[in-house]
Amino acid sequence: MKFIVSSGELLRQLQELGGVISSSNTLPILDNFLFDLDKSSLVVSSCDLETTMSASLTVESDVVGLVAIPARLLLDILKTFPEQPLTFVVEDNHTIEISSSQGKYALAYADGAEFPKTVELDNPSSTNLPGDLLATAISKTIFAAGNDDLRPVMSGVFFQFSTEGLTFVATDAHKLVKYERKDVKSAQTAEFIMPKKPLNLLKGLLTGYDAEVTVTYNESNAKFTFDNKTLICRLIDGKYPNYEAVIPKENPNRLYITRSQFLSSVKRVSIFSNKTTHQIRLKIAGAELNISAEDIDFSNKAEERLTCDYQGDDIQIGFNSRFLSEMLTNLTSSEVLLSMSLPNRAGILTPSDGLEVGESITMLVMPVMLNT
C-alpha cells in the first residue's frame, strides 16, 4: 500500500478529526486514525464509539488498502513539516514509512480491520440547512445544556424539525434557551436529542460555512454531511421534558435595558456576591434598576443604579449572576427585554434587536429566593 499526499492538507483534515479522539479510550485501536485508501481517494476516520467523523482527500495512488496509524504521533510529525508531498508506504514488518524531502520516518501501525465499522442508518429521514445557521443554533443553545449524568436527556440539545420551522432547545432546569428559525423548514416532523461533544465539533467546523449541510437521522443516530466530511453520532435516548410548560406566558413587568451596560453591572456586582449562591438582587421601580449583592460571611457588598425603560409594578427579584451573565454574553443585540411576572416565577430574556428575519431566541432564567 502506497500513496502520496500533501502534508498541509493532510494535517488540516487530521486536526479537525482529532477532536473526536478521546483521551481515555477503552479500546487501543481508537487512539488511531483509520486510513481507507481506494486508489486516488483516501478517506480518513476517527472514532470514540459514540461519534465517528471522516474526511475524504485526493491522493496519488493506484492501490487499495486499510491501515490504522497512531493519531498523536502522526499529528506531531505533520506539524513540523513545511508544505510538501509526503509518501506513505506500508512495509511488511508492521511499520508504515513516511518519506519527506528531509528524510524518512517509520512508525508502527495497527490492523485497520480492527477499527469499528461505520454505523449505517436504517430508514433515515433527512433535512438540508445552511451550515452557519446550524453553527449559530448550536452556539446559542449549548451553553444552557446540563452536565448531570443522572438526567442525560438534559445534557444535550433538543432538535425539533417541522414544516413550520426549526427549533433548538437546551436546559439544565435552572436556565433554558429556545432558538427558533421560521425561515428554514423541514419536509417532515422529527425530534431528537444531540449530545454536546459532536455539537461542539460541528460548531467549530461550520462557523462561517454558508453551504448546505445534510442532516440524516433515525431513532438512534444522526449523520451530518458537508464539504468533504461526514459526522455520525449516537443520539441521547429518552424523552425531552415539556419545556413549553415552564415558560411563563403572562409577563406584565417589562424591563428594556442596554445589554452591554446591564452585563457589565451584573459582572461587577456579582464579584461581591456569595460564592455558593452567586445571588444578585434586582430592584426595579420607575425608570431605575438597582442591582445589588451581599456576602454576609465576609461583609462584602455592592450596589449599582442604572436607568432603564420599565413598564410594570415595582419588583424585587433574585437571580444567579452566573446564569444571567452567561445569557447576556450569548446575546448579540444592543438592547434586551427582561419580562417578569412575580419574584418566584422565571424571568424571560429576549433580544430587542439584531435578529435576522425568521429568527427568534427566548432565554429563561429561574429566580433564586431572596433573603429579606
Q: What is the pLDDT of residues 210-247, one digit of tens each?
A: 899 999 999 999 999 999 999 999 999 999 999 999 99
Residue 26 above 90 pLDDT?
no
227 and 256 together in one domain: no
Q: How confident is the model at residue 137 (pLDDT cuts 50, 70, 90)?
A: very high
CA distance 345 to 252: 12
254 and 350 together in one domain: yes
Q: Could you tell me if residue 237 is inside a domain?
A: yes
Q: Could you tell me if residue 146 is inside a domain?
A: yes
Q: Could you tell me if residue 239 is inside a domain?
A: yes
CB 193 within 8 A of CB 156: yes
10 and 53 together in one domain: yes
Domain C-terminal end among 114, 139, 156? 114
Q: Could you tell me if residue 119 is inside a domain?
A: no
CB 134 within 8 A of CB 211: no
Query: For the whole prediction, is pTM greater than 0.85?
Result: yes
Q: What is the pLDDT of residue 372?
A: 58
Structural domain count, the chain: 3
330 and 357 together in one domain: yes
Q: Could you tell me if residue 120 is inside a domain?
A: no
147 and 225 together in one domain: yes
Q: How confident is the model at residue 117 (pLDDT cuts 50, 70, 90)?
A: very high
Q: Could you tell me if residue 174 is inside a domain?
A: yes
104 and 91 together in one domain: yes
93 and 144 together in one domain: no
**Residue 353: how many CB atoms within 10 A of its CB?**
10
Q: Could you tell me if residue 253 is inside a domain?
A: yes
CA distance 117 to 166: 31
Q: Could you tell me if residue 336 is inside a domain?
A: yes
Instruction: Give me the CATH number covering residue 99.
Output: 3.10.150.10
Q: What is the pLDDT of residues 160-215, one digit of tens each?
A: 999 999 999 999 999 999 999 999 999 999 999 999 999 999 999 999 898 999 99
Q: How confident is the model at residue 370 (pLDDT cuts 50, 70, 90)?
A: confident
Please, what sign has the CA dihedral across residues 259, 323, 326, 345?
negative
Domain C-terminal end among 211, 244, 277? 244
69 and 144 together in one domain: no
Range of the domain at 202: 125-244
70 and 171 together in one domain: no
Domain C-terminal end among 62, 84, 114? 114
HEC string of the chain equals: CEEEEEHHHHHHHHHHHHHHCCCCCCCHHHHEEEEEEECCEEEEEEECCCEEEEEEEECECCCEEEEEEEHHHHHHHHHCCCCCEEEEEECCCCEEEEECCCCEEEEECEEHHHCCCCCCCCCCEEEEEEHHHHHHHHHHHHHHCCCCCCCHHHHEEEEEECCCCEEEEEECCCEEEEEEECCCCCCCCEEEEEEHHHHHHHHHHHCCCCCEEEEEECCCEEEEEECCEEEEEECCCCCCCCHHHHCCCCCCEEEEEEHHHHHHHHHHHHCCCCCCCCEEEEEEECCEEEEEEEEHHHCEEEEEEEECEEECCCEEEEEEHHHHHHHHHHCCCCEEEEEECCCCCCEEEEECCCCCCCEEEEEEECEECCCC
Q: What is the pLDDT of residue 93?
A: 87
The Cα-based distances of 283 to 143, 270, 297, 309, 326 in angstroms read 27, 15, 22, 13, 20
98 and 34 together in one domain: yes
87 and 31 together in one domain: yes
| Percent with pLDDT over 70 in the chain | 99
85 and 169 together in one domain: no
